[in-house]
Amino acid sequence: MEVEALSGANEALDALGAALLVDEARHNLAFGILSTARAHPDVYPELRAWVVRDGDRIIGAALRTPPHNLVLIDPEDRRAIGALADAIEEELPGVVAAMPEVDAFAAAWSRRHRLTSVVVFDQRIYALRRMRPRRPTPGVERLADAADRELVLTWMKAFADEVLYGGGDVDGSRLARSVDARLASTDSGVALWEVDGTPVSLAGFGGPTPNGIRIGPVYTPPDLRGKGYGTAVTASVTQRMLDRGHRFCFLYTDLANPTSNEIYTSIGYERVCDSREIAFVARNG
């Protein structure tokens, strides 16, 4: 086995495309990062990837867009996890991937670098191929445009504070670049659910894969929750993506939130696998 370092979205996609397609839903995050980095290099100015080769076969891989976590790809051979942990020389804040490969890498990395692995949160990856009928919710969906930028940016930051970072640790300039890229793109964007002309919820979409696209984040301000708006905008934008010709839609849910998991399965999303984000921290003593 040997580990090869790659640089840039085009080189990484050329090398990893076939491996990612083995389980497109499981690998939608990696696919989405690579497609976004290729289409909008300002969003991810740096992209690094590593592939583990056994002869002509790629048996494992990972990628990273600093300062973000390593994204691990499900290895064909579990020995590739140790090879990656040995070969990656830069400091990693953490790793995100499906289970169980994420746990195996975290154990190998922590052991080699004398760090402690801390679970940040567990998620579930869902995929939808066909919508289920649902009761109508008051309101209408529309795509956000440049005039909605400040609202979208405010709600995206609120989502990150609440769900991803626990408050206060959001890179505002990076988030603004991401929102601007969404609003200017034809393959990603933000849908708003409006009631009487007032936005009450949003659902993003982007990170396309060869046959699918990721839905998220989904955010409703706290004082407007419990009215079905998040479900409605998710269902509407999912159908919009299917109508555009995507065979699948993907999304992530927080495993600690049973309500959101029930909402998405009621629309027609089905479990693919569970995913975990792990942070690496210094050991005490």
Q: Are 152 and 240 found together in one domain? A: yes
- Taking the C-alpha atoms of residue 273 and residue 1, their distance in angstroms, rounded to an integer, is 28
Say which CATH number the domain at 45 has: 3.40.630
pLDDT in tens, 227-238: 999 999 999 999
Q: Are 215 and 261 found together in one domain? A: yes
Dihedral angle of Cα 243, 244, 248, 250, to the nearest 10 degrees: -110
Q: Are 7 and 116 found together in one domain? A: yes
Q: What φ, ψ does residue 47 adopt, rounded to 5°?
A: -145, 125
Q: Give the HSE-up count for residue 70: Cα atoms under 13 Å, Cβ half-sphere.
A: 27
Tell me if residue 223 falls in helix, strand or coil: helix
**pLDDT of res. 110:** 97
Q: Are 234 and 190 found together in one domain? A: yes
Q: How confident is the model at residue 168 (pLDDT cuts 50, 70, 90)?
A: very low
**pLDDT of res. 207:** 87
Q: Are 142 and 89 found together in one domain? A: no
**pLDDT of res. 170:** 60
C-beta of residue 31 within 8 angstroms of C-beta of residue 207: yes
pLDDT in tens, 172-184: 788 898 899 999 9
Say which CATH number the domain at 256 has: 3.40.630.30
**pLDDT of res. 193:** 98
- Taking the C-alpha atoms of residue 230 and residue 71, their distance in angstroms, rounded to an integer, is 28
- What is the pTM (predicted TM-score) of this model? 0.89
Q: Are 21 and 118 found together in one domain? A: yes
Q: Are 164 and 110 found together in one domain? A: no
Supply the range of the domain harboring residue 11: 2-122+276-282
- DSSP letter (8 states) at residue 131: P
Beta bridge partners of 254: 123
Q: Are 229 and 155 found together in one domain? A: yes
Q: Are 160 and 261 found together in one domain? A: yes
Length of the chain: 285
Say which range, 19-23, 165-169, 261-265, 281-285, has the weakest mean pLDDT: 165-169
Q: Are 193 and 254 found together in one domain? A: yes
- Taking the C-alpha atoms of residue 249 and residue 20, their distance in angstroms, rounded to an integer, is 16
Helices (H) and strands (E) counted in the chain, each on its own, are: 8, 12
Q: Are 260 and 136 found together in one domain? A: yes
Report, as an integer, the average pLDDT of 195-211: 95
Q: Are 137 and 116 found together in one domain? A: no
Can you point out the beta strands (E) in 155-256?
189-195, 198-206, 212-219, 248-254
Number of domains in the chain: 2
pLDDT in tens, 45-57: 899 999 999 998 9
